[in-house]
Structure 1
Amino acid sequence: MKKVDCIVRPDVLEEVKAELNKIKIHGMTVSQVFGCGLQKGKKEIYRGEEIEISLLPKVKIEIVTDDSNVESIVDAVTKVARTGNVGDGKIFIYDIQDAIRIRTGERGEKAI
């Protein structure tokens, strides 16, 4: 099993969810997060003063899946989220040792 964390721009969330639904990926956790990377933030004018906003809003999509779905998830997310500009986001892939469905006690891939 793998965990796929996708950090993307908030404006592409609905398109990413639609693309994931096309490949039968329905279970996910979505969080609003703030972060910075190469984009390093942006400058805005607030009450006549220029201020630096270093942490920008992003959306984190977490998906736990079997190994065979990982590449199709990566392809679906990058297809929608890639603009070619700094700040498009990142995808991280982790190994998952086990998963337990609390309601039934099922373990492993049956639990996801």
Structure 2
Amino acid sequence: MKEVVAVIRMNMMNVTKQALTEAGVDAFFAQEAQGRGKGLINSALLTGAKQGYEEAAEMLGEKGRLYAKRVVTVVVPDEDVEDVVQAIMAVNRTGKPGDGKVFVLPMADAVRVRTAEKGEKAIQ
């Protein structure tokens, strides 16, 4: 089993839900989050702003702000990981900064609380 965590734009949630459904994923989690990528931020300005230099903070402007995102988490069998990642990427890729990231992590185990099923039975 693997955990697939995708950070996507807020406005891409509906198409991502549809893509996951078409990829055979019926259950997933979604959370609102804030963050930013490395973008085109000048690291010297960022360091200066952290040290309290007002002019550096002003020069950063909007580039230092956090942006609203969605974090979508799904746990899938190993053989489904590539299909799920490709489905997420296909609908979220615009070619512009801010398209997001997809992380794939190992999942040691899962237990369905209602039935006590373990492993892949718990996620199917």
TM-score above 0.5: yes
Aligned to 2:49: none
Query: Paired residue for 1:39?
Result: 39
Residue correspondences, number: 105
Please tell me the root mean square deviation across aligned C-alpha atoms, in Å: 1.8
Residues 46-70 of structure 1 show CA distances to partners (whole Å, capped at 9, x for unaligned) of: xxxxx63611000000000100110
Query: Which consecutive segments of 4 or more residues in structure 1 shift more than 2 A?
Result: 38-41
1:100 maps to 2:119: no
Paired amino acid for 1:5: V
Tell me the TM-score normalised to structure 1 length. 0.87
Counterpart Cα distance in 2 of 1:33 and 1:96: 22
User: What is the rounded CA distance, in whole Å, between the counterparts of 1:12 and 1:40 in structure 2?
Assistant: 23
Q: Which residue of 2 aligns with 1:62?
A: 73
Matched, 1:86 2:86: no
TM-score of the superposed pair, with normalisation by structure 2: 0.79
Number of the residue aligned with 1:12: 12
1:22 alignment partner in structure 2: 22
1:34 alignment partner AA: Q
Decide which structure has greater strand share: 1
> Which structure has the larger Rg over C-alpha atoms?
2
Question: Corresponding residue for 1:48?
Answer: none
SS of corresponding position for 1:98? coil
Give, in angstroms, the shift of residue 39 of structure 1.
3.2
3-state SS of paired residue (1:69): helix
